Structure 1
Amino acid sequence: MKTYRKSIAIVGCGFVADYYLKTLPFHPGLKLLGVMDRISDRASNFAHYHGISQIYHSLDELLADPQVEIVLNLTNPSSHYAVSQAALAAGKHVYSEKPLAMEMWQAQELANLATEKGLYLASAPCSLLSETAQTVWKALRENQIGTVRLVYAEMDDGLVHQMPYQKWVSESGIPWPYKDEFEVGCTLEHAGYYVTWLTAFFGPAETVTAFSSCLIPDKQTDVPLDVNAPDFSVACIKFASGVVARLTCSIVAPHDHSLRIIGDRGILGIHDSWYYGAPVYIRRSLNIGRKRLEGVWKQRYPLVRKAPKLGYRGAQQMDFCRGVAEMAEAIAHNRPCRLSTEFSLHNNEIVLAIQNALETGCTYKMTTSFESIEPMSWAK
């Protein structure tokens, strides 16, 4: 395949931006032109730390640069819609941090605008492109556990408000934005890590039956919260393929990022989706006499390839730039992006359906869909 090089610019130099910069060297097809942040000192400090020469002083200045092909939107979630809309209107492709938008009408409008202008629009997370996710997908295509009936996916992170989160800083010294994180809520922040896997594996969702709640309203912060977003949610997702998944998100229950895919001939699972090289296992059961021993035989299923060492420390080992690189390669070779606009829109709708089920519990019928996507070429 021919080499490519696409120019990107970053809007938003907050906590997550360091993770993108740390994994950028793994993708020579991406050329970073410059950065911009509404807080000028933050942009300056970030650029100085990472040796970036170009600092845009406004979003308009960045969008007026004809060399910028892809805008990497790393702003606060409440700004995702406005920044992505402006970038698309200016004729730029957009890769946005999650969620694509805080309201479904906003996400749909962005999708319509991208389609109208013939632009690519995609949203994080890109962990579906990880070695672990691609390995799980390969095992499913090989029918390693027979017909899949049920999935249990967990995204629980413990009592975050009791952790020393005020001491959490990124490599360049940006504090963890705890007020924003608590006000957005763990569902919008984290559900996508497994939602994107499940829709890729099992196709579009038909219905989402969900319940969410804010169990700890004040989070004991030194700055009052303006929004009491759900800190716990649980959803049962029915896919068009017939598979049903239960997804739980919380910043209350003990840390658990496990995935268990239950089939007629075994259980396919991992322990943590935040590690691109997390081992994949299959558990099988045995019948002995009148007893059934569930999952007693555990075997490793080999990764499709070794995950790279990412060169940073933290609660995860994820190649944040891999989704941007996938988009850039798709643009360069005029092919569909695996994290397509329709795929991103559908996943955004699922996550919002869970988030918005606050205290009521409801069954939500999906309105969006997407065409099936391809696994990575190195995972076939």
Structure 2
Amino acid sequence: MCLIVSDRPLVAAGVYTTNQIVAAPVVLSRSRTPSATVRAVVTNSGNANACTGEQGDADAKAMCSQLASLVGCEDTDVLVMSTGVIGQLLPMEKVKSGIDQCFGRLASNETSFVEAAEAIRTTDNARKTESRDMNLDGKTIRIAAMAKGAGMIAPNMATMLSVICTDASIAPDEAKAILTRVANASFNRVSVDGHTSTNDTLLLLASGDEAPLSGDSLCLFEKELTELAIHLAKQLVADGEGATHVMQIHVSGASNDKSAETIAKTIAASPLVKCAITGGDPNWGRIVSAAGYAGEPMQPAKVSLRVCEELIYENGSPRKFDAASLSATMKSNNEVAVDLCVGDGKGTATYWSSDLTTDYVRFNSEYTT
């Protein structure tokens, strides 16, 4: 169990799963954001409260109602997130007891933040946190974020929960617009297994009570928030179940950014490409052919590919290179850069994906999701 509670109303915005099968907590939180009056978020891990019917809806509401009573706010000012096994009812007696216990341990210190980040984990190997301090208009603005996710990771987002907290002042509609753009540049650009979850939730909570940021200050805040989110998103990929490498796929020369994004996404999801990265195999054929079946315009005679900055395919033809040396470089680096140019267009996109290992297969053949 994890509680995040504010002593004053928060501006809250959310971005949620695109799956048509949606968990009860997503339905509830989505209906309550954006908002300028949120006071708390309650999260449970281990049980997704997804595909649980009317009882699941009632349980999500009960979690919010209980915390609202403790905080002294309206039920509608509490958001809820859940993650874990699908299709099982929440053990509500344990949940209720957990909420009471957590409320008694609330504190505004780093230790409590770390404990909260630990509490939302499921199959994660490690907690995922990021923080930033920035100066805007002569004032220090703080951002602190936590996330969980290791499997069922695919655009859009993942079996991913994340809360970004800031003491910046942001208007609710602006917070929603910013968070959507941030998600599209980060959490919607990662893939582990091509499986979009029922519970994806990304929340932005802003506690500032001064005049909302605007103009250049708002742009700088969004830029910092995007960089923080990219770092968190890459942590999800690096922690992909059984993963040993992160693939950074950069596509350029496409007809537009959306086309480049589709090509990068297709490469990121290819099991053959993933396996090549696992084995340290600079197999340009798998990468180039994956781009080719993405269904987007390409100029084959102008296609070039670099892996770990080494040019191995140029203008539609393979180049001579030391395969053993490049393989050793790939194996020795946790992050493998794949840079593909598909023509002379202006479209670009970057994606991050994990490799595919036997450990992933073993884990997900033995673990109930």
TM normalised by structure 1 equals 0.28
Larger radius of gyration, structure 1 or 2? 2
TM normalised by structure 2 equals 0.28
More helix by share: 2
> Relative CO higher for 1 or 2, CA cutoff 8 Å, sep ≥ 6?
1
